[in-house]
Amino acid sequence: MLKIVSARDYDDMSRKAANIISAQVILKPDTVLGLATGSTPIGAYHQLIDWYKKGDVGFSQVRTYNLDEYRGLSHDDPQSYHYFMRDNFFDHINIDLNNTHVPDGANPDAEAACAEYDKMVADAGYPDLQLLGIGNNGHIGFNEPDDHFSKGTHCVDLTESTIKANSRLFEREEDVPRQAYTMGVQTIMYARMILVVANGAAKAQAVHDMCFGPVTPQCPASILQLHPNVVLVADKEALSLCE
């Protein structure tokens, strides 16, 4: 079942998403969270930091597994997703960094890095709650439009549109890594609850296709229609084609 929650704007979307994550962690302090990077969830992370500082929610027993990491970037590279997570979330809450996991982009052996990550996520019993952003082309994690749905963690070549979209975070477009390790669609579907956040008009088509289009690997997010417990929190612009 896919439930759509409409938010007024980015801040409202962020607070609503943070509320859902916070409720999950309050109800189950040793929650396994699947986490995403990108611009969209930053507001939710900052809201959770604020509530943590006020004493409303704690993360001491939480374990996290991020969706993806650029291949070739080490954990301390400022452009890595590992660094992003520390900078935007982990370094500001009481999480044990040993309980936070991101695929090892520094391991050039793609097969070994992906197999190791799959085992870690499986050993943790898969996320209780998986937070997802959505790409303009409907990608989730770095699972790009394709002729089949991916299974476990694997190495992908990023599409031109994703490289272009992500280049805003790099000095030059040619600095954007061309490959990434990402959890597969099947792994994402193993999460017991999925929370998708989306804002802005650029996401409107992808959000529409995710909720109402055919279930097809050409829009990887469309498979979420088959998941029993998905919540989409999106602002008016992202929902503009869903009326």
Q: Which is nearer to ligand F6R, 58 or 105 (CB)?
A: 105
Helix axes 42-53, 81-88, angle to 10 degrees: 40
Evaluate whether 126 touches 227 at the Cβ level (below 8 Å): no
Q: What are the residues whose beta carbons fall under 8 Å from the beta carbon of 73, sequence distance 6 or more? A: 79, 80, 105, 106, 177
Q: Which is nearer to ligand F6R, 39 or 179 (CB)?
A: 39
Please state the closest distance from residue 206 (CB atom) to ligand F6R, in A. 9
Please state the closest distance from residue 71 (CB atom) to ligand F6R, in A. 14
Q: Which is nearer to ligand F6R, 30 or 126 (CB)?
A: 126
Site for ligand F6R, rule CB under 6 A: 36-40, 67-68, 133-135, 139-142
Please state the closest distance from residue 76 (CB atom) to ligand F6R, in A. 18
Cα–Cα distance, 138 to 145 (Å, whole number): 7
Evaluate whether 217 touches 148 at the Cβ level (below 8 Å): yes
Please state the closest distance from residue 174 (CB atom) to ligand F6R, in A. 19
Q: Which is nearer to ligand F6R, 45 or 51 (CB)?
A: 45
4, two tokens = 């759509």
Cα–Cα distance, 59 to 31 (Å, whole number): 9
Residue nearest to ligand F6R (CB): 133
CA end-to-end span of the chain, whole Å?
Answer: 18
**Active site members:** 68, 137, 139, 144
